[in-house]
Amino acid sequence: MTQRMSYREALREALREALQTDPRVFLMGEDVGRYGGTYAVSKGLLDEFGPERIRDTPLSELGFVGAGIGAALGGMRPVVEIMTVNFSLLALDPIVNSAAMLRHMSGGQFSVPVVFRMATGAGRQVAAQHSNSFEAWYAHVPGLRVLAPATVEDARHMLKPALADPDPVLIFEHAQLYNLEGEWPEPGGVDICSARVRRAGSDISLITYGGSLFKTLQAADELARLGVSAEVIDLRVLRPLDDATVMASVRKCHRAVVVAEGWRSGSLAAEVMARISEQAFAELDAPLARVCSEEVPIPYAQHLEQAALPQVDKIVAAVQAVMEQIT
């Protein structure tokens, strides 16, 4: 029988491996120790590694994010857990004005090898202040590397190269994925530079990442039953974007829909569409389209929350609309 692992367990195993192999690594954040993490990712690690390596912090993102950056400048390899992306806004200044810019502003004399992990996304009825997808804000900033692991394999293996990166790395974990199960990842690793083709196709490229990946794969299954062959691209790395993989798919399929949970205005979906227009416009047989969250604060009521988010039926409808257009 094939052994299976949850996304949550994969993240925990990645942390355990990092703590075991490098004495400079430590985990810090709200409730990561005694409570085992808000999403139970660090459960058991305090008993295994002790309070010097698993550090509970006060409820001050500005304070403990700054402390993590200082530790990285001092030669440590901190993993800083921020409970949710919404709360990371309290620490925008140290992340964007300090961590992202110190290599440049020091003329290469200093680097900030810190990893920030945070939950992102909606779908859990936790209301507007705990449900956003702000990855595009961070993907806008030079000096940061932004990752969005969607699979158990990526959850297990992305932390190691992130900790080896001399610059700050942000890892966005969609909160709907923690219970996801997949096959036990093979030993080895993954890169943190490239996108992945998760499903091959020939009629249309579906480009997505994070919590929207599995909705997009479900939509591709439904489209296959309707006679449409959809290729699914998992961006995985939101900064720097892997243009080559995206453009190769567009040049093969000649149509594309971008699926992302963020709002449409100023979104990562808009950036991907702009790059396709700049680099592969002549290859398109139909206008580009996107499926994003509605332009509203994420509602609390379940039916309204689901209506506000990208869903399988919306993706299928967007693809059908594109396929009906002829240039």
Give, as one character, the DSSP assignment of residue 294: -
In whole angstroms, give the CA distance from residue 260 to residue 269. 6
Do residues 137 and 267 make contact, with C-beta atoms less than 8 angstroms apart? no
Under a CB-based contact definition with an 8 Å cutoff, are residues 65 and 80 in contact?
yes
73-94 in b/e form (b: 16+ CB < 10 A) is beebbbbbbbbbbbbbeebbeb
Spot the catalytic one: 61, 81, 153, 271: 61
- Can you list the positions of beta strands (E) in 122-227? 145-147, 169-174, 181-183, 196-199, 204-208
Can you read off the two tokens belonging to residue 248? 């190769």
Residue linked to tokens 């979906």:
269
Tokens of 303: 């039916």
Helices (H), 240-325: 243-253, 268-280, 302-308, 312-323
Q: Is 61 an annotated catalytic residue? A: yes
| 278 is an active site residue | no
Q: Which of 9, 30, 130, 173 is catalytic?
A: 130
Which residues are the active-site residues?
61, 130
